[in-house]
Structure 1
Amino acid sequence: MTGVLLDARLAVRRGTFQLDVELRIGRGETVALLGPNGAGKTTALRALAGLTPLSADGRLLLDGRDLSRTPPEQRPIGVVFQDYLLFPHLSARDNVAFGPRRHGRDRKAAHAVADHWLDRVGLTEYARRKPRNLSGGQAQRVALARALAVDPTLLLLDEPLAALDARTRLETRGELRRHLSAHPGATLLVTHDPLDALVLADRLVIVEQGRVVQEGDAATITARPRTDYVARLVGLNLFRGHGDGHAVTVADGFTLTSTDTVHGDAFVAFPPSAVALHPHQPDGSPRNTWPAVLADVQHHGDNLRVRLDGPISVAADITPAAAAQLDLVPGRQLWVAVKATETRAYPDGSQ
């Protein structure tokens, strides 16, 4: 990333909902905006595109230009919507040529631009097809070509892979990453899928209830989640408490021990794979042991994801063979063990 290209404060008031998100994206950088339903992701994208007006205290600077009150059609921004929104009556070629035509290119020049981008996304032989005759992955690539054909300073992607089946999504994700890596402008990816974000983005921004709750690269986010939503996103058990050296008191006086040292407000986290289950109280090295009651069992890849209630509620991943030995049924009394070396404790402060 070289220099900030987008500098925005996305302030929007809509009824009782308030969005207030500071967002900066550099040249050649892809940022993923993640959050639960209703967090404000789509509102943020629409505000950038000019489809939702900013409040008086909002701002949108793009490559040094103030676009806060600029109409959508005059913004150097390309958008790929979740459902692609291709014009059904136009061929793939004419869909891609639409933007250049709107920007003043004559028909021949616009078609030359469209042909270039269809070649870039590997769809030259599909140029004359209407959207109804394209597969989901092909339609997604036409939508991307249409967005890039206007040479956008900012590219907005709204859940661009959500409409695809699992196999097509895997293939298209790799292609999309290649195109984003070559895009010289700024890119914002709005998604609820952590895998899309981790594969496609250089940096993650997490929003909840209209506010940024955490941001950073994938390694930082996955190692040190700061909300329950982020913990679920990256697959960790997360607890907030008060640290006193290696001990973190998290709930009703219950204490978890870590090899990390923290003082004051703190988080402690550990993966479900670090949770061991025993029919009786275990002996030996685990510093963290407690009785629990089995609440739920679900398939999770090749293993089982077990949810347990007790002084704290945790998720554990175990093999089917281990589950058979433990005779797992709801209400079963078990003992939980987590080694101190498997936990991470860190301050509950700003990054």
Structure 2
Amino acid sequence: MTLSAHLVVTRSHFHLDIELEVAAGQVVALLGPNGAGKTTALRALAGLTALSGGRISLDGEALHTMAAERRPIGVVFQDYLLFPHLSALDNVAFGPRCRGASRTEARRGAAAWLERVGLAGHATMRPRQLSGGQAQRVALARALAVQPRLLLMDEPLAALDAHTRLEIRSQLRRHLADFGGATVLVTHDPLDAMVLADRLVVIENGAVVQHGTPAEVARRPRTDYVARLVGLNLYRGTAAGQQVSVGEVLFSVAEHLEGPAFVAFPPSAVALYRTRPDGSPRNLWQATIEGVERHGDSVRIHLAGPIAAAADITPAAVADLDLTPGQRIWASVKATETHVYPF
């Protein structure tokens, strides 16, 4: 492992206690709601927030005893924090100069980094003359110019508009693939995490609640926050064979399981009916419509009742069913559309 850390930070109303392992060449994304502790963890790794306990080891070397300026890390902040009075070239050269490189050597290296991020023609420009995407790439070049063994990125795409974000996300993925050190990325955007990261670590209330590859986390969410993040309805219940009890609702499922279990299914799997369907459809419950909103090309119906759920249906179906908030409705989901796994 390149990075092995146990981060403990205690404040008056908050306690962070997480462990991180990041291999060389790997990108790990820290995900979590606001106030979960993501940025606190990143600042602790950078030496900008003091540890209350734990340790930080990089390639077997203790970092937590080092001053922030001596740690072999590069940082890309959310607002980039480029020096407004310096050109793009001198912003990138700043780190190597601080570490003892001559002015000529630092500027030569900075020029090479600007070329690598596609900004060779912008070397003389100051930050106010750069677009958001260009400023992000200068900030990345500045972080990498010091040849760090650990790269820390705090919401690196948050300041960009949607169109620029798409382009820069793709470029950033390529740059991170070429970086041989460990990378820790903080983001609240699931798409950024899924595209950029090799592994996800989900933090809630200062603790790790789930970790794994993006595919593993998306397929088997373990908290309501993660379920919302990946767009699934998630419930905790008790399994007995191919049935799972969730409160008053008994789900028939495809998998066989015993004991505490999660049941998950996408909103697109939920079918809605004005009246109780004929026959004996499984996984059927009555609900009240709490809200109706556009969701991409579909319409999301928020349901309350014995279980809360989201259902995605077409605008034509909304009109045909004449759905309105407060209305009673029947909902169902096929057993083959559910996914069940141990609690």
Same-fold call, TM > 0.5?
Answer: yes
Q: What's 1:49 paired with?
A: 46
Question: Matched residues in 1 for 2:51 and 2:288: separation?
Answer: 49
Give the match's secondary structure for 1:58. Answer: strand
Q: What's 1:12 paired with?
A: 9
Question: Matched residues in 2 for 1:288 and 1:281: separation?
Answer: 12
Q: What's 2:294 paired with?
A: 299
Q: In structure 1, which of residues 318, 327, 335 is the aligned counterpart of residue 330 of structure 2?
A: 335
1:233-252 deviation line (CA, Å, top 9, x unaligned)? 0000000111111111122x
Q: After superposition, where does 1:1-351 map in structure 2 within 5 Å?
A: 4-55=1-52, 57-251=53-247, 253-283=248-278, 286-348=281-343
Q: Is the 8 A contact 1:285 1:339 kept in 2?
A: no
Question: Matched residues in 1 for 2:325 and 2:292: separation?
Answer: 8
Question: Matched residues in 1 for 2:342 and 2:294: separation?
Answer: 33
Which structure 2 residue ranges, 5 or more long, are not aligned? none
1:270-324 deviation line (CA, Å, top 9, x unaligned)? 0000000011111357421111111101110010011011110100000000000
Report the RMSD for the aligned CA atoms in angstroms.
0.9
The amino acid of 2:49's aligned partner reads: T
Residues 285 and 199 of structure 1: CA distance in aligned 2, closer, same or farther (over 3 Å): farther
Question: Matched residues in 2 for 1:106 and 1:78: separation?
Answer: 19
1:207-234 deviation line (CA, Å, top 9, x unaligned)? 0000000000011111110000000000
The amino acid of 2:72's aligned partner reads: P
Give the match's secondary structure for 1:129. Answer: coil
1:21-80 deviation line (CA, Å, top 9, x unaligned)? 10000010000000000000000000000000111x310000110011211100000000
Which structure 1 residue ranges, 5 or more long, are not aligned? none
Q: Is the 8 A contact 1:29 1:185 kept in 2?
A: yes
Give the match's secondary structure for 2:2. Answer: strand
Question: Matched residues in 2 for 1:13 and 1:188: separation?
Answer: 21
TM-score using structure 1 length: 0.96
Give the match's secondary structure for 1:36. Answer: coil
Question: Matched residues in 1 for 2:72 and 2:316: separation?
Answer: 57
TM-score using structure 2 length: 0.99
Q: Is the 8 A contact 2:238 2:261 kept in 1?
A: yes
Spell out structure 1 runs of 4+ moving beyond 6 A.
Answer: none
Residues 286 and 340 of structure 1: CA distance in aligned 2, closer, same or farther (over 3 Å): farther
Question: Matched residues in 2 for 1:70 and 1:154: separation?
Answer: 14
Q: Is the 8 A contact 2:249 2:285 kept in 1?
A: no
The amino acid of 1:303's aligned partner reads: S
Give the C-alpha shift of residue 332 in structure 1: 1.3
Report the identity percentage.
64
1:110-138 deviation line (CA, Å, top 9, x unaligned)? 00110010000000110000000000000
1:115-169 deviation line (CA, Å, top 9, x unaligned)? 0100000001100000000000000000000000000100001000000000000
Give the C-alpha shift of residue 254 in structure 1: 2.5
